[in-house]
Amino acid sequence: MNGFDTTSINVMSLPAPYVSASLSSLNNEVAFNSAIALASVSSGVVIIPSGNFRISGSINLNTKNPIKFIGSSKKLTTIIDLRVDGTSSVIISTEGHYLSDFALLGNENQQYGINILNVYGKGTILERIVVGNPFGGSGTGFGNATNDGAGIYISTSRYVRIRDCIIGDNYHGIKLASTIDQAPNVCNIYSSDIEHNKYSGIYCENVPCAPTVFGGTLQSNTVYAFYCKTSDKQIKIYGTYCEGSGFHLEGGYCAILHFGQLGTLIRNSDHVIKNVQGIDIRGIKNTPFMCEPTTGAEGIYIDSFCSGVIFEGLETTKQNLIANGNFEKDIVSTGWTSIRATIATETIDIKQGKQCIKLTANDPKGAGSSGIVQSFNDYTNYAGKQVTVGAWVKALSTNSNSSYVQIHSKSGVLSQVLIKKDDTWHYVTISHILDATPTDLKVYFFIKQSGIDTDDVLYIDDVSMAVGKNIFTRFPPISNLLGNSYLKYGTTAQRPIGAPMGFQYLDNSLNKPIWVKISGLQEKDVLQFLTSATSSGNITLTLNGVSSDVSVISGDTPNKIADKVKLSSFAVWSVNGVANSPIITFLKLDGGVCSAPVFSGGTTGVTASIVQKTVGTNPVWMDITGATV
């Protein structure tokens, strides 16, 4: 923001009657507006220290010269509008202003939190601002069904930048007016969480130019994540996480939806695209995208009046193939069969929704494994096709036995993944290409026992299965990923290697927030057995420095050896392959750099080739300037 003077005015330094040290019952908009007027003389800076500042009127940025209006970046600055009704808490009607680092709270009878009106030229920047009431507790955000309000309202303006903001619990998160200017880049939204708004995350109708969204989340907005009708240009969304509501795009040109560098699962959302010319839906860099809609819905509906449609890296399904995969039925085990296990409804330690399954081993005689299974009578429909299973699972660190997720048939295990025993929820996926003439298809979650077991526990939630590639994202909604906190923090060495593009992290070593610019890739290694065993013994497979032995018998063929490896355990790796095939694919469950895989046949005479099909990489991080850090 060039052009700002170094002059700064702290609202606490203004003489009475503008402000008081107590701030307990004052109407502080007089102090704010006085400070704005003084700072605007030389394009200066208004500083608001940490604390709660009450207002009973509007803060007006209507000055000849632009200013910076900045709260505390270390401790929260909160501006609370006490009015029971009104139009706007903050009104911006001249160009070039920069606002950052404060929270703005009000109530639903106030129409708008921030109102940007008739701003051209240098535009407006909003950065690290909370608008509404996304954290819960008392109070609500801005707007209701009667006044059709929003957290941020943009009318007849252009060049608005919204970056790293949290906009929640309003009627609309961001609303664009019908008289908005036709210039490109009218509104860009970067790495912002637009969540839990009562009608829509972003709403615009009859606007010549829709906003562009980069990263961030559009999650749990009640009716629409993004509603845009009759926009002539530029409906663009890049790498944004969406869950709980869908897009409605109708009329106009150029709907561009690029979801996620690693592939994004857009969940529980139905998308409608009508009469749009020029539609480009793909995963960035040709990576896969999947839409998992609400049950029985279309998923993505594109009407016959649309033209110029491009699909790339895209897979859709009309519904999750798993019955009661979210375990939200009154009887939690509906659709599942238990095997030597006690099934309970868990409502406290859950991952998604209101409840999940708590599976406790119940095998006092040591008869075998404990678990749940779901069978698919229509398994012949998937002949020759690849199926993918994803689920949230948690195994207790005190468990004496290991737990697994398996794709299974009458011939045995087709594919499986080991579940970590660390008291932590993990999203795991497995895939398998079925034979041309499959004999069966089942999905198992089980505790593999070696004797009596009556106390090992496994939690399971949100199970999905679809036909297609390994296309489920491992990343939950951002608020869940961060443990119900909107900012993850730690040292440089503690940066999460599995973080998605747009993920925000407070690096305490650098003492500043940073973001994932490019997500890390998951390592994929492919193993192919070439010769049979000439003597009995162990073969050794080393993945990312961790070695595992598999016992073979003299005469075992490459196909037989591969099937034995598929039944073995490889922590943090999913094991995929077709039965009676010598080829196995190992996909690492996290991103990050890995050492080269190594195979040793020992004294068995077995030979094999193993290659890094996809080389794992760490995410690339950047600071607010875009510089790599």
Residue with tokens 């009407």: 303
pLDDT tier at 367, thresholds 50, 70, 90 = confident
Structural domain contains residue 482:
no
Residues 57 and 201 in one domain: yes
Residue 382 included in any domain: yes
Domain range spanning residue 504? 491-629
Determine contact, residues 59/91, Cβ cutoff 8 Å: yes
Minimum mean pLDDT among 175-184, 471-480, 579-588: which range? 471-480
Taking only the tens place, the pLDDT of each residue in 119-137 is 876 789 999 999 987 655 4
Q: What pLDDT digit, counting tens, does each position of 228-274 carry?
A: 776 555 567 776 766 667 677 766 555 556 554 333 344 444 555 65
| Claim to verify: residue 314 and residue 397 sit in the same structural domain | no
Q: Are residues 465 and 495 in the same domain?
A: no
Instruction: Classify residue 389: in a domain, yes or no.
Output: yes
What's the mean pLDDT in 151-166?
Answer: 88
Q: Is residue 607 part of a domain?
A: yes
> Do 314 and 349 fall within a single domain?
no
Considering the domain boundaries, does residue 63 fall inside one? yes
Residues 427 and 523 in one domain: no
pLDDT above 70 as % of the chain: 76
Torsion, Cα of 78, 79, 82, 86 (10° steps): -140
The average pLDDT across 391-405 equals 91
What is residue 603's predicted lDDT score, i.e. its pLDDT?
95
Number of structural domains, the chain? 4
Do 199 and 313 fall into the same domain?
A: no
> How confident is the model over 377-384, as a mean pLDDT?
87
CATH number of the domain bearing residue 566: 2.60.40
Q: Which residue has the higher pLDDT, 155 or 375?
A: 375
Q: Is residue 191 part of a domain?
A: yes
User: Span 486-506, mean pLDDT?
Assistant: 71
Assess whether 465 and 498 both reside in one domain. Answer: no
Q: Give the mean pLDDT of the chain.
A: 78
**Boundary-marking domain end, from 472, 507, 534:** 472
Tell me which of 319, 346, 380 is where a domain ends. 319
| DSSP H/E element including 130 | strand 124-132
Q: Residue 379: phi, psi to the nearest 5?
A: -60, -25
Residue 581, Cβ density class (10 Å: 0-12 exposed, 13-18 middle, ≥19 buried): middle
DSSP 8-state secondary structure symbol assigned to residue 501: T
CA distances from 475 to 202, 357, 429 (A): 23, 21, 12
Assigned token pair, 136: 């819960």
Higher pLDDT, 457 or 263: 457
Report CA-CA distances (Å) from 369 to 112, 373, 534: 58, 12, 33
- Which of 140-144, 306-310, 427-431 is the least confident region? 306-310
Please report, for the domain that includes residue 432, its CATH number: 2.60.120.260
Same domain assignment for residues 312 and 344: no
Tell me what pLDDT residue 230 has. 62
Query: Does residue 527 share a domain with residue 398?
Result: no
Q: Would you say residue 336 has pLDDT above 90?
A: yes
Reply yes or no on whether the pLDDT at 320 is more than 60. yes
Q: What is the pLDDT of residue 134?
A: 62
Does 390 lie in the same domain as 272?
no
Q: Tokens representing 386?
A: 């690849």
User: Averaged over 397-409, what is the pLDDT?
Assistant: 91
Could you tell me the pTM of the whole model? 0.51
Q: Which residue has the higher pLDDT, 412 or 293?
A: 412
The single-letter code of the amino acid at 246 is G
C-alpha to C-alpha distance for 296 and 302, rounded to whole angstroms: 16
- How far from chain centre, in Å, is Cα 14? 44
The verdict on residue 241 lying in a domain is: yes
**Edge to edge, what strands does the sheet with 620-622 contain?**
488-490, 504-507, 512-518, 620-622
pLDDT level of residue 64 (50, 70, 90 thresholds): confident
Domain boundary among 429, 444, 472: 472
Same domain, 344 and 465: yes
Domain shared by 49 and 191, yes or no: yes
- Asked if the structure places residue 15 within a domain, the reply is yes
Lowest mean pLDDT among 34-48, 139-153, 223-237, 467-481: 467-481
